[in-house]
């Protein structure tokens, strides 16, 4: 008896993966099932036999090596009928009716892709970006932004009912908010649960619909949103505003995500929670020391430059830096990097003084 080419029967290559083999079998099973108009029972048995062998690692190895399997099935042991497919036999398939229009939907519902019974629906998230000046990002600010989005109807406050009217029990789901469906597949009967389309999962419907939203509970609207930007926000950081995204009928609103783009400062820079500035001082101030005042972001800052200060030396002013975003009342420091200005040209008197310092060995 000639060996059957199981790979050819399923239309896959010899090196096909298990997933490829499974997909090929489902497609052919839908086409040739005997209960389907135009089906072919003999062909269905053949592809089932091929699938039982190639989907089993041990049987597939035996088939690839010897052209047969050694458990009473395969090309030398007789066709396995329908018995090997998940414990089902031919009678299991014979009593079933099928909708072969979309096997993807069937298996999606069976194995968790249908989305029913997963909890309340959730509106779409919205994201936007805001440019904020350096100083405002350091100390906090607010922005009012006008957003075009799906919002809860203000007339009926999302109920979908005309003001002053009552609601009644949804007859589609009998007030349960969910509908149970039974899908018949060649794998058996499976029950799926989905949100009721009529009441959107609420269990009740309005006796009279809201004139503004037509009973949907949501409308396309423009809404002004106040965004509080806390002190200490860094460039590229995100603010999440819970349930300020788009609304959805019978569910919860999504979130609003605001990305902060901080405009750089001409003088000040930020390093963590510290503010950094470069301060240029005179040579004599560096030699003798001086009390120096600079303009800070929130007022004057006193700098005590010690005598003998060096270029690149860093002076620290505690507690005048960036406010900690998660620890109110606490701030980083100001770091002042000294740059000593060296004169390009000296007067005769200054030259004489420098020469005197040279004689001192300085």
Between CA 119 and CA 126 the distance in angstroms is: 21
Exposure string of 178-200, with b = 16+ CB inside 10 Å and e = fewer, is ebeeebebbbeebebebbbeebb
- The domain ranges of the chain are 6-101, 126-263, 269-359
| Residue pLDDT, tens place only, 295-318 | 999 999 999 999 989 999 999 999
Judge residue 166's burial from the number of C-beta atoms within 10 Å of its C-beta, 0-12 exposed, 13-18 middle, 19 or more buried: exposed
Confirm if 162 and 209 have CB atoms less than 8 A apart: yes
Multiple choice CATH, 269-359, 3.40.50.2300, 3.40.50.170, 2.60.260.20, 3.30.420.40: 2.60.260.20
0.85 exceeded by the pTM?
A: no
Pick the CATH number of 6-101 from 1.10.3210.10, 3.40.50.720, 1.10.287.110, 2.60.40.10: 1.10.287.110
245, 255 in Cβ contact below 8 A?
yes
Question: What pLDDT does residue 69 have?
Answer: 63
DSSP structure class, residue 65: H
DSSP classification of residue 323: B
Residue carrying structure tokens 């080419």: 5
Span 150-204, pLDDT tens digits: 999 999 988 889 998 888 999 889 988 888 887 766 555 667 788 888 887 788 8
**CATH number belonging to domain 126-263:** 2.10.230.10
pLDDT at residue number 33: 78
Q: Are 25 and 17 in contact (CB under 8 A)?
A: no
Low-confidence ranges of the chain (pLDDT < 50): 1-2, 72-117
Q: End-to-end distance of the chain based on CA atoms, in angstroms?
A: 109
Of 273, 279, 270, 265, nearest to 319 by C-alpha is 273
């Amino acid at each position: 008896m000639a060996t059957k080419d199981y790979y050819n029967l399923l239309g896959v290559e010899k090196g096909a993966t298990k997933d490829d083999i499974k997909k090929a079998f489902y497609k052919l099973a839908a086409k040739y099932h005997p209960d389907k108009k135009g089906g072919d029972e003999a062909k269905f048995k053949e592809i089932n036999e091929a699938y039982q062998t190639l989907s089993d690692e041990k049987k597939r190895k035996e088939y690839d090596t010897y052209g047969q399997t050694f458990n009473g099935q395969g090309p030398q042991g007789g066709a396995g009928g329908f018995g090997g497919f998940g414990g089902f036999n031919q009678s299991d398939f014979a009593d079933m009716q099928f909708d072969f229009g979309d096997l993807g939907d069937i298996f999606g519902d069976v194995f968790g892709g249908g989305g029913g019974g997963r909890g309340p629906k959730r509106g779409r998230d919205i994201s936007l970006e805001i440019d904020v000046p350096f100083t405002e990002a350091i100390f906090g600010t607010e922005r009012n932004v006008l957003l075009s989005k799906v919002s809860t109807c203000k007339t009926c406050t999302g109920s979908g009912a005309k003001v002053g009217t009552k609601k009644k029990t949804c007859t589609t789901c009998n007030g349960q908010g969910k509908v149970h469906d039974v899908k018949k597949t060649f794998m058996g009967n499976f029950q799926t649960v989905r949100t009721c389309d009529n009441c959107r999962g609420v269990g009740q419907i309005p006796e009279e619909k809201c004139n503004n939203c037509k009973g949907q509970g949501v409308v396309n609207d423009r809404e002004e949103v106040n965004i509080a930007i806390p002190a200490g926000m860094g460039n590229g950081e995100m603010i999440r505003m819970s349930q300020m995204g788009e609304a959805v009928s019978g569910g919860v609103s999504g979130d609003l995500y605001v990305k902060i783009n901080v405009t750089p400062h001409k003088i000040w820079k930020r390093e963590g929670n510290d503010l950094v500035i470069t301060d240029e001082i005179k040579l004599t101030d560096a030699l003798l020391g001086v009390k120096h005042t600079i303009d800070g972001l929130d007022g004057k800052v006193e700098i005590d430059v010690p005598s003998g200060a060096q270029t690149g030396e860093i002076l620290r002013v505690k507690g005048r830096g960036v406010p900690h975003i998660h620890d109110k009342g606490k701030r980083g420091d100001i770091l002042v990097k000294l740059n000593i200005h060296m004169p390009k040209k000296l007067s005769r008197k200054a030259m004489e003084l420098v020469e005197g310092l040279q004689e001192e060995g300085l």
